[in-house]
Structure formats: structure tokens, C-alpha cells
Amino acid sequence: MKETKIGHSLKMAGGIAAAAGGFLAAEYAGANYLFERTLKKGKASTERTINMAGTDWEQYYPYIEGCKEWQSGQYREDVWVTSRDGLKLHGTYFPGCPQPLGDENEGWQPEKPRRLILAFHGYSSQGMSDYTSLSKFYIGELGCGMLMADERAHGQSEGEYIGFGALDRFDVLSWIDYVNKRFGEETELYLHGISMGAATVVMASGQKLPANVKGIVSDCAFTSAWDVFSHVLKSWYHLPAFPLMRIADGIAKKKAGYGLKEADASKEVEKAEVPILFIHGDRDTFVPRWMCDKIYDHCGSPKKKLIIPGASHAESYYKDRTAYEEAIKGFFQF
């Protein structure tokens, strides 16, 4: 009888162990799927991102198309830098001054910009796409130069895995170095980021930046990859963060070279020295407003905040262009 009870207990323990092993295997498979679907180049879908963000872009298409037509008529150059880990990164440079027409164009060289906007796009996008409309404002109205970077694993830039700001913050330094070597530190430099690009430039604020970096514009930044993934798991898939996120974090460290908690914008801004303008929509369900508020509250440098009523994710400029543009003009006089 005693041996029978022991045998029964061992069978139960074996069954529990097998079930636990099956559970862990399923969780690992789910975490790996999450990792591959969101961090690997070519797997991140722009259409899926747009759907999840929930912004109704169709209403703005006529305006965007008009800006795109204007942008396509401007002089631009493809430019490249090498990241600290050896990736070739692409950007599109607009000098922000009119190009002569006809025969006058032969041998023409653009002037050195007095003020240049170094722009970083959102997740699964690319520089020229996210800044179609803002380029008309920055270049056409304010006369700024613009350099729109393709972040690693996006557009024409190399990279197998998306950096979610944790890696890209160091790429910002490579772009700043390129600008300063080409134009000198007399050119005023402002960093502008949207969504993941905003997280990138805000995370870069914790680095030692050259004196000619005069300010940062952050449009709907998230605090960290961990926070935004956890939010999406809960709001979209109705799944708890634990243990999926912990496993995904380990996979990211092994394959992509960084942890999902590695860079937290709310911690990086504590070390910031340059002024930062924070912009966010109060109806953003993809990157909720609390993330903006948390980063703002922790910011150790001069700061301003603009909350656009009724704006969802990355919609602030289109929802209220006047408020957005006036905020930037005022920021330049900070």
C-alpha cells in the first residue's frame, strides 16, 4: 500500500512537471513570436501598426498628399553614417534653401543651414514618410535644414533588429557627429522625434550632447519598450505581462543585444541638460498620455508640455497644426 501511494505521488509529480514544462514551452514560443513579430526587420508591419494605433489618417490624406508633392520638388541628398556597432545608416538631407531653376542649377551648391532639424520617425516607418507634412513647415516656412534619419532596421538603414530607442539613442550621436563635421558647430541643431523616434531623442538626452544641440521636440514618446509592449499585450490581446514579457526580455538581450527595460526615457531625462518640448494627444491609446506625463515630471532640464485635445497617436500635428507650430516657434526662442 505504501509503495502504491509513493508510486501514485511520483506519477502526479511527473504529470505536474510535464504540465509545467508544457506551459513554459508554450510561453517561450509565445514570447519568441512576440519578439520576432515586433523587433525583427521585415516582420514589423506598417499596416498592423497603423491599425493598432487607431488614428484615422484618411481624413488627412488630401493635406498630406499636397505636402508630399511640395516635398518631392525640393533639393535633397542621400547621406550615410556608420553606427558604433558597424551598421550603415541612411538619411535624407534637405538644405532648407531654394534651388535655382534651369541652367542656373549647374554647379549649384546649397548654403550651410543656420538651423537644422535632425528628425527620427516612428516604429515600422521611415524618415521621409513621417515628416512629409512637418518638412513643409520646417523647411518651407521656417527655412530650416532637415535631416530625416531612417532608424536602424528601417527604410534603407541596415540592422536585423529594431532598437526601440535603446540602441538608436547612440545612433543619434553618430548623426550629430556627421552634421557637426559637415557643417561645423555654428549650425544650431534640434532633435525632433515621433513615437519611437521621440523615445529615441528623449533617451539620447541622457547622453553628453554638443553645445550646438539647442533643444529636443518629443511627439508622443513612450517610456520604454517594456512599458509599451506590456500596454499593448493588455489592451489588444488581453494578456498579462508576466511571464511573457520576462521571457521576451531574455530573448531580446540574447538576439538583439539589449533588454526591454534597458533604456527608460523617464530615467534618461533626469540627466538631460537641453530644453525639451513634450507633445502628446490626450486620446492616444497606443502610447497613453501617462507615459508623456511621467517623462515630463522626471525631466531635469528646462521643459514645456503641449497636450492636444482629441488627438490620438501621432495625430497632434494634424489635429491642431496652429498650436503645434506656435509651440515650436516659441520653443526656438526658449
Residue range 34-67, pLDDT digits in tens: 889 899 998 888 888 888 888 999 999 999 999 9
pLDDT at site 45: 82
pLDDT at site 107: 65
User: Which residue(s) pair with 308 in the sheet?
Assistant: 281
Instruction: Count the neighbouring beta carbons within 10 Å of the beta carbon of residue 189.
Output: 25
* Length of the chain counted residue by residue: 334
Q: What is the pLDDT along the chain (334 residues), one digit of tens a residue?
A: 455 555 454 344 444 434 434 545 767 887 888 889 899 998 888 888 888 888 999 999 999 999 999 999 999 999 999 999 999 999 999 998 766 555 556 666 778 999 999 999 999 999 999 999 999 999 999 999 999 999 999 999 999 999 999 999 999 999 999 999 999 999 999 999 999 999 999 999 999 999 999 999 999 999 999 999 999 999 988 888 888 899 999 999 999 999 999 999 999 999 999 999 999 999 999 999 999 999 999 999 999 999 999 999 999 999 999 999 999 999 998 6
Helix (H, G, I), strand (E, B), or coil: what is residue 191?
Answer: strand
pLDDT at site 208: 96
Q: Where are the domains of the chain?
A: 50-224+263-332
pLDDT at site 230: 95
pLDDT at site 288: 97
Q: Give the DSSP per-residue string, 215-273.
A: EEEEES--S-HHHHHHHHHHHHH---STTHHHHHHHHHHHHTSS-TTS--HHHHGGG--
User: Which residue(s) pair with 193 in the sheet?
Assistant: 120, 218
Alpha helices in the chain, H assignment, sequence order: 2-39, 46-53, 61-72, 127-130, 132-135, 168-183, 196-204, 225-237, 244-255, 265-268, 289-298, 316-319, 321-332
* 50-224+263-332, CATH topology level: Rossmann fold (3.40.50)
Helix (H, G, I), strand (E, B), or coil: what is residue 4?
Answer: helix
User: How far, CA to CA in Å, does 294 sit from each of 195, 212, 235?
Assistant: 15, 27, 20
Tell me, yes or no, if the pTM score tops 0.85.
yes
How far is the C-alpha of 218 from the C-alpha of 201, rounded, in Å?
7
pLDDT at site 110: 79
Residue with cell 530615467: 267
∠314-319-300 over CA atoms, to 5°? 55
